[in-house]
């Protein structure tokens, strides 16, 4: 039996009805961009929260200070020996970055995360330093684009992706009333909030 010719009327009409459906593509784009953006969204959001409240806390370091006394007088003229005694008494097992005597009777021991200021005649030691909040500092470093160079391209790409996410998010699922329903109210509210704030504070 001969096969049906491609020009048969029923097959042709079925082919005509097969329209391009853009929503599934939009949803797929939104979903995949969303997956890609998860990591950076956490970086920017957490860092944004941290840096926004910089007047209340140090988002990069936790700071500390302490005072103690070591046996005095410390050896005069041998800064390294004096530093070794102080570090041993302080329970610090670290090679100093610098040992420096700015004036007679004063010794300063610079370590990676702290500095010890020593009065060599009295043995009084004041230590001040800071410990890195590792993950948060890294996030802040990225957020504020301290490294510049290639990160600028990533950051720009992320900003572009956020715009795409916002736009695709509006259209990916048709509401019962389309865009004029709840979606429109929320979009208008989202735009109105910053405008209302600008009006309230009198502009930039």
Partner 1 sequence: MTDPKASTSLAQSIARRDFIRKAASGTVIAAFGGGLYALSDHLTSEAKAQTRADGRARIPPGQRVISALKPMGGQPGDPSRGNVKIKIHGEVDNPFEVDFRELLAMDVVDTRADVHCVTGWTMLDARWKGVRVKDLAAKAGLKKTARHVIFEAAHGYTANVRLDEGLADNVLVTWEHDGRPLRRPHGAPVRALVPDLYFWKSSKWLTGIRFTRRDQPGYWETRGYNNHADPWKEERYA
Q: Considering only residues 29, 110, 158, 164, which one is a binding residue for partner 1 as defined by CB under 8 A?
A: 110
- Rounded to whole angstroms, the Cα distance separating 188 from 178 reads 15
Q: Return the residue of 37, 46, 108, 123 that touches partner 1, per CB under 8 A.
A: 108
Are the beta carbons of 161 and 33 closer than 8 angstroms?
yes
Q: Which of residues 126-185 bind partner 1 (CB under 8 A)?
A: 126, 128-130, 140, 146
How many chain residues are in contact with partner 1, going by CB under 8 A?
A: 28
Tokens, residue 144: 């504020």
Cβ closest to partner 1, residue 8 vs residue 106: 106
Q: Are 39 and 161 in contact (CB under 8 A)?
A: no
Window contacting partner 1 (CB under 8 A); options: 4-12, 25-33, 50-58, 163-171: 50-58
With binding defined as CB under 8 A, does residue 104 bind partner 1?
Answer: no
The residues near 11 (Cβ < 8 Å, ≥ 6 apart) are 4
Scanning 4-12, 24-32, 34-42, 106-114 for contacts with partner 1 by CB under 8 A, the matching segment is 106-114
Nearer to partner 1, 142 or 161 (CB): 142
Smallest distance from partner 1 to CB 61, Å: 6
Binding mask 59-88 for partner 1 (x = CB under 8 A): xxx-x-x-----------------------
Spatial separation of the C-alpha atoms in residues 98 and 100, rounded to whole Å: 6
Strand 61-69 and strand 124-132: pairing? antiparallel
Residue 192 Cα distances to 70, 131, 159, 188, angstroms: 63, 42, 21, 6
In this chain, which of 51, 89, 142, 187 binds partner 1, going by CB under 8 A? 51
94 binds partner 1 (CB under 8 A): no
Order of strands across the sheet that contains 98-100 = 61-69, 124-132, 114-119, 106-110, 98-100
Classify residue 141 as exposed, middle or buried by CB count within 10 Å of its CB (0-12, 13-18, 19+): middle
Residue nearer to partner 1 on the CB measure, 41 or 110: 110
The answer to whether 41 contacts partner 1 (rule: CB under 8 A) is no
């Amino acid at each position: 039996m001969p096969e049906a010719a491609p020009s048969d009327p029923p097959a042709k009409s079925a082919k005509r009805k097969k329209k391009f459906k853009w929503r599934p593509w939009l949803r797929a784009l939104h979903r995949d961009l969303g997956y890609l953006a998860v990591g950076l969204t956490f970086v920017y959001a957490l860092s944004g929260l941290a840096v926004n409240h910089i007047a209340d806390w140090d988002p990069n370091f936790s700071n500390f200070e302490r005072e103690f006394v070591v046996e005095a007088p410390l050896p005069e003229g041998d800064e390294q020996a004096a530093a070794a005694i102080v570090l041993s008494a302080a329970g610090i097992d670290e090679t100093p970055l610098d040992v420096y005597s700015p004036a007679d009777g004063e010794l300063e021991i610079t370590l990676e995360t702290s500095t010890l200021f020593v009065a060599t005649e009295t043995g009084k030691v004041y230590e001040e330093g800071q410990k890195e909040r590792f993950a948060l500092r890294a996030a802040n470093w990225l957020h504020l684009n301290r490294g510049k160079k290639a990160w600028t391209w990533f950051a720009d790409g992320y900003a572009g992706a956020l715009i795409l996410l916002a736009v695709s998010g509006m259209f990916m699922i048709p509401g019962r009333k389309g865009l004029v329903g709840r979606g429109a109210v929320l979009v208008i509210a989202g735009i109105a909030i910053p405008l209302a704030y600008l009006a309230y504070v009198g502009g930039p």
